[in-house]
Amino acid sequence: MTNNDIFKKLRVALQLRDDEIIKILELVDFRITRSELGAFFRKEDHPNYMECGDQILRNFLNGLVIHLRGPKPVKEDKPKPKKKE
């Protein structure tokens, strides 16, 4: 199974449109155009087909986590207790 197959199956399973996928990728500061994205979902024998690299799929999955769970909460550092002199 290729990265393209995984990407296609996630797109169908989660009922995502191209603009939603682009927004998900922007959550992890990854920019992609609609035409570049469409090239991943074409058949392998199509002249404009493009292989989905590991970096793109990884960024999509990381963005999807943020999209579904929300941003990671910021940890607040506990103030250090003052030493008694």
User: For residue 82, what pLDDT is reported?
Assistant: 72
pLDDT tens for each residue of 26-75? 999 999 999 999 999 999 999 999 999 999 999 999 999 999 998 777 77
| Tokens read off for 1 | 């199974």
* pLDDT value of residue 76: 75
* Token representation of residue 77: 């550092």
Q: Is the pLDDT at 85 greater than 70, yes or no? A: no
pLDDT at residue 3 tops 70: yes
Nearest-5° angle of CA 23, CA 58, CA 35? Answer: 50
